[in-house]
């Protein structure tokens, strides 16, 4: 999963919903919704990527993720010429990501109780940190509260499968009504 999908939030969600016996469709749909932001990220890079050959652009995009996109955007906006930055940073993260997945698989059976060391909290901590980075001001407060409330309600009433998608849709819907930047 780490090498083909290469998308942390989606992978963690999928694992929470695993096995796919009853949840395959929900897993794939959740993956789609979680990763929709890539549409915006790819579009944002258009001014620079449009100057490359198609066969350089589309493989580079395979490895794009939040961190490398943000770094690439920053570099290119500051005048750095080489759009290959996207591919290069992507490869670096790919090696680290897949390598860590393999390492975790091997050592996972050795760490008996992740709860004792707080490892089970790591997912939440990563997402919280990403949220801090995404925070753009008071305008985010209501959409995020709505997303959280709907997600919590959905997870209590509808169980494991739908709460991410429903919370995300609710939060996005509210967020799309923002007037100019606040």
Partner 1 sequence: MSPSDALAFGTIVAMAAVTYATRAGGFWLSTKFVLSARLERTLQAIPGAVLVSLVAPQIVDGGVAGAVASAGTIAVAARTKNLLAAVVTGAVLVSLVRLLS
Residues of this chain, 27-66, that bind partner 1 according to CB under 8 A: 27-28, 31-46, 49-50, 57-58, 61-62, 64, 66
86 is a contact residue toward partner 1 (CB under 8 A): no
Cα(56)–Cα(82) distance, integer angstroms: 12
Closer Cβ to partner 1, 95 or 141, answer by number: 141
Q: Is 181 helix (H, G, I), strand (E, B) or coil?
A: coil
Binding flag, residue 73, partner 1 (CB under 8 A)? no
Kindly tell me which of 39 and 78 has the beta carbon lying closer to partner 1.
39
80 sits in the region (left: phi over 0; alpha: psi -120 to 50; else beta) called beta
Half-sphere exposure for 76 (CA within 13 Å, toward CB): 18
Sequence-ordered strand ranges (E) for the chain: none
Q: Which is nearer to partner 1, 80 or 127 (CB)?
A: 127
**Residue 8 near partner 1 by CB under 8 A:** no
Of the pair 95, 152, the CB lying nearest partner 1 is at 152
Residue 97 as a binder of partner 1 (CB under 8 A): the answer is no
Confirm or reject binding of residue 83 to partner 1 (CB under 8 A).
Answer: no
Choose among 168, 182, 174, 176: nearest CA to 30.
Answer: 168
Does residue 15 bind partner 1 (CB under 8 A)?
A: no
Residue 71 CB neighbours (<10 A): 14
Q: How far is the CB of 103 from partner 1 (least distance, A)?
A: 16
Give the CA count within 13 Å in the CB-facing half-sphere of 9.
Answer: 22
Find the binding residues for partner 1 in span 98-137 (CB under 8 A): 115-119, 121-135
């Amino acid at each position: 999963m780490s090498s083909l999908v290469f998308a942390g939030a989606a992978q963690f969600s999928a694992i929470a919903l695993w096995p796919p016996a009853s949840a395959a469709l929900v897993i794939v749909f959740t993956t789609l919704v979680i990763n929709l932001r890539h549409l915006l990220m790819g579009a944002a890079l258009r001014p620079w990527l449009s100057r490359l050959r198609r066969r350089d652009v589309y493989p580079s995009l395979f490895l794009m993720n939040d961190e490398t996109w943000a770094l690439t955007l920053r570099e290119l906006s500051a005048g750095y010429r080489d759009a290959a930055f996207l591919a290069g940073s992507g490869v670096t993260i790919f090696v680290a990501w897949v390598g860590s997945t393999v390492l975790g698989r091997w050592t996972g059976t050795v760490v008996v109780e992740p709860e004792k060391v707080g490892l089970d909290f790591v997912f939440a901590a990563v997402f919280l940190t990403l949220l801090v980075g995404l925070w753009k001001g008071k305008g985010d407060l209501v959409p995020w509260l709505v997303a959280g409330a709907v997600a919590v309600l959905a997870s209590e009433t509808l169980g494991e499968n739908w709460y991410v998608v429903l919370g995300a849709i609710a939060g996005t819907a509210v967020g799309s009504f923002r007037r100019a930047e606040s």
